[in-house]
Amino acid sequence: MLMGWATGMAHLDRNSASPGLAWLNVTGVALALLALALYTLIRPDAANDRPAAMRDELLLQAGGAGAGVLGGAGGETRARRSRRLSGLLMAVLSGVLYGNNFTPPNLLLNTGRGPSNALDYVFSHFCGIYFASTVYMLAYCCYKRSTPVLYPRVILPGFLSGLMWAAAQTAWFVANASLSVAVAFPLITSGPGIVSSLWGVFVFQEITGRQVSK
């Protein structure tokens, strides 16, 4: 959200559109950041962060590598901290890349070097994503020597999720062209967080209680 919003505010994509009331736009982004700060107060239950069947299957595929790491309480704590830090770093890198994934087509669109219809960029954009993800998967398979760690039960939901994402991404192209990136990014990136939080509270009950666990 921050990268996409900052790109639009700085007009790095050469979009001359104004976000309207700038102070209201900045206030909305600040509220989204406040929501993110509140998310950090949630403490997941380590014993239930994954279904038991999924944990067992992944450990078996990994050859029981987790057993040596979790040999003691101190080792488990260090391992969890290390995984958390690496996860945060990868999330930041992912955010930087995701926040700029519209920059190349927007530059072509806004500078007149490409088609004037935002939907004309969808096919090439998706082809690039598909090619890159295929290369990453092949590299991972080579790294794991043809024994990648997979969880079969999420493969079909993954494809269905991809179809939903493709529809949303297509609409996002239209939103960027109509509203400008500075407006579209905060709105679109905040919406899924609200929906997933509602599911986590009322359906899956992943978020419960009112006090911070100690």
Token pair belonging to 123? 């096919």
How high is the pLDDT of residue 130?
92
Which of 48-62, 77-91, 118-132 is predicted most confidently? 118-132
Cα angle at 87 between 190 and 70, to 5 degrees? 135
How high is the pLDDT of residue 73?
54
- Residue 93 covered by a domain: no
Kindly report, residue by residue over 125-157, the tens digit of the pLDDT.
999 999 999 999 999 999 999 888 888 888 899
- Residue 211 covered by a domain: no
Helix ranges (DSSP H) in 22-154: 22-39, 52-61, 65-69, 73-98, 103-110, 122-143
Q: Stretch 162-166: mean pLDDT, rounded?
A: 93
Token pair belonging to 54? 């999924």
- Residue 190 covered by a domain: yes
Question: By residue range, what is the domain housing residue 37?
Answer: 2-66+101-202
CB 47 within 8 A of CB 58: no
Q: How far is CA 152 from CA 54, 65, 131, 149, 156, in A?
A: 9, 20, 22, 10, 8
Q: Stretch 60-68: mean pLDDT, rounded?
A: 52
How high is the pLDDT of residue 62?
54
Half-sphere exposure of 180 (CA within 13 A, CB side): 21
Token pair belonging to 77? 């704590």
- Residue 109 covered by a domain: yes
Q: How many domains does the chain have?
A: 1
How far is it, in rounded angstroms, from Cα 104 to Cα 128?
12
How high is the pLDDT of residue 122?
95
- Residue 210 covered by a domain: no
CB 149 within 8 A of CB 62: yes
Assess whether pLDDT exceeds 70 at residue 14. Answer: yes
From the number of C-beta atoms within 10 Å of its C-beta (0-12, 13-18, 19+), residue 79 rates as middle
How high is the pLDDT of residue 200?
80
What is the reported pTM?
Answer: 0.71
pLDDT band at 48 (very low <50, low <70, confident <90, very high): low
How far is it, in rounded angstroms, from Cα 115 to Cα 194?
34
How high is the pLDDT of residue 63?
55
Assess whether pLDDT exceeds 90 at residue 66. Answer: no
Q: Which of 25, 26, 28, 3 is nearest to 13 (CA)?
A: 3
Q: Stretch 111-130: mean pLDDT, rounded?
A: 91
- Residue 50 covered by a domain: yes
Percent of the chain whose predicted confidence (pLDDT) is above 70: 79
CB 121 within 8 A of CB 115: yes
How many C-beta neighbours within 10 Å does residue 149 have? 14
- Residue 195 covered by a domain: yes
- Residue 138 covered by a domain: yes
